[in-house]
Structures are given as structure tokens and as C-alpha cells.
Amino acid sequence: MKNSNNSEDGENYSFETGPIRPPSEGGVHSLLLRPTRNCPWNRCTFCPVYKGEKFHIREVDEIKKDIETVRKIKNMIKNNSTELDKVPRKCYALVSAWIQSGERTVFLQDSNTLIMRTPQLVEILECLKENFSSLERITSYARSKTLARKSLKELKKIREAGLTRLHVGLESGDDEVLNFVNKGVTAEKHIEAGKKAIKAGFELSEYVMPDLGGKSLSEQHAQNTAKVLNQINPDYVRMRPLAVMKNTELYEKYKSGDFELSSPHERLQEIKLMIENLSISGKVCFDHRLNGWKNKNHNRLFDLDYEGYQFPQEKQLVLDLINEGLGVDESYHIDPRDKAISSL
């Protein structure tokens, strides 16, 4: 979102935000700021978000002006300023919700902030901390290839400057699946990147996409993803079941019959196989609406809580829930085969 809303005296009361963020970093949870625009890779066959958009790293001074604008809006809201009508509605809503949440977290958009040169990113992080002393957590998406490319020294410097949590789209730990969806990374590189992030001191969320290999690659997708996660041992594993989106290459393969989606029960079986082989000490989360399976009472099968289920302590609980879901008629579950989902 680019806003242009200047008052008569030339004061700018807008700042830029991007299109997506993790559920755990949205709503009242995090202030959204946009150091980069779009995605530097932008070739994954399942993702429609940045298609047709050019990747761009914004200038540090421009980003710092956005931070200053947020501080101004925050002070205006707290002081009940008569100038508030000059603040764009979305900017006002974001800052107001952030104030109500305690001004504790910031999420840096878009898809790979870590691709910025380390001194630039450090300068932005330091600016955030200087302007908002209440900050407890600053987070960002990151690509495994970018993480692997950064030196451990650079990553530690970024961590020390204030970036605390990274969200990484693992999607799969199986090389055939990764190649099929043109993820641009291998299982080995995922492991290298994840281990390096943890060694640098970051809290790490790895995103897994059940059914990304469809019916034909389901078993190896589950088993090899568990193997990769076991070697990384991230703080969070977040389940994001595949939604075949219109305007993607994968959608065209789905329409032509070259890609076959699994049924709701088959997806649960895939997750069960993955969980059975998972030996991590982090948390497994189902914090997205696409985890739409139902329990025997036809309520949500999994808790949508951002903190999820603690492993290994609650591993059996998750397996028990999966078995319960497998006993529920498939008609009660979200079926991805009914239609391609056209919105996030």
C-alpha cells in the first residue's frame, strides 16, 4: 500500500505497507513496515502474490521517514490531535491497533527483507528501536538461500541490532517437490540456512505446505520434510495446506490434470506421517484457516493458536487429533478439490 496524504502545510501522514504478513504478525499484533517491495525470486508455481511486480529495495532514508511518520501518528493518536483526519484511514487503523496491543512488535515486509545489505538493515533496525523503546520483537520473512548466503557474522550483527524472529517458507524438505514447484532451493540449503539462523540467535518459524506434492509425491514429501525439520529443529513449524490459486502455474497444471490434489483425509494422512517422523523440541502450529478439518463434534480439529502444540510433549495429542479427524466424514472438512481458491 502506497499512500499520499499531505496536509496543507506539507506534512506527510502516510507510510507504506505490503500485501501480506504471517497471521501471527498481523492485526493488532504487529506494526507493518515495508523495507522491500515484492519478491526477489517470484517464480514459485503455487504463489500468485507478487506476479508481474518488480522487486525493489527501498532507500534507507525513505524507510526511516516511514518510521518517523508512524511515530508522529502514534503521538497524534495519544494526544487526540485535531490533525488526525489528515491521516490515511489504513495508516490510522494500523497504528491505532498497534498502540492498543502495547507497541511491542514490528513486522518488516515484503517477502525477504534479509536480502538488504547488512549495514542498511542494521540502520533500519536501530532506527526502529530508537523511535519505539517499547519494542520487544522485530520479525521478517526470509528465503533460505538468502540466509545461507549471509555470513554468520552478518546474521549475528542483524540479530544484535534487533531482528528477533524469521519466518521461512520451507514448504517441503523433498527435492523433487521443491523442484516441481520451482522453489529455487534444495533440502540441503534449507538445512544449512535454518541451522545458521538458529546459531545466529534468531527465533525461527518454518512454514510447511501439506499436499504440495499432490497425491503422487505425498509420502516422500511428508517423510523428507520431517527429516529436514529434524535437522533444523526450528522454534515453530507452521502448517499451511496448499491452496491452488488462480493465476498460478500450478493452477494450470491442476486444470489440465497434470497435478492431482489429495482429499481431506489424504491430507491428514500426509500430516500424520510427517508428525510420526518428527522429532523436534519446538512447536507445531495450525494457525491458518486452511487447516479446516473438523473434530467429531464438527468444530475445529486443531487449535488455531499462534503458539501451537509443544513437541515432543504434545506430539501424541496431535496424532490423536489427526486420528479423530480421520474418523469424521470428509464432507465436513475443507476440500481443496471443490474449487481453486482465488483469494488468500
How far is Cα 256 from Cα 18, in angstroms, rounded to an integer?
A: 33
Give the mean model confidence (pLDDT) for residues 81-103: 92
CATH of 143-334, one of 3.40.190.10, 3.30.410.10, 3.30.43.10, 3.20.20.70: 3.20.20.70
**Cα 333 to chain centroid, rounded:** 24
Q: To the nearest whole percent, how much of the chain has pLDDT over 70? A: 94
Segments making up each domain of the chain, as ranges: 1-115, 143-334
**C-beta of residue 35 within 8 angstroms of C-beta of residue 116:** yes
CA dihedral 96, 124, 132, 75 (to 10 degrees): -50
Q: What is the pTM of this model?
A: 0.92
Task: Quickly state the pLDDT bin for 268 (edges 50, 70, 90).
Answer: very high
How far is Cα 173 from Cα 221, in angstroms, rounded to an integer?
A: 7
pLDDT at 9 over 80: no
96-139 pLDDT per residue, tens: 999 999 999 999 999 999 999 999 999 999 999 999 999 999 99
Residue with cell 519494542: 135
- Cis-peptide, bond into residue 303, ω within 30° of zero: no
3-state secondary structure of 326: helix
pLDDT at 8 over 60: no
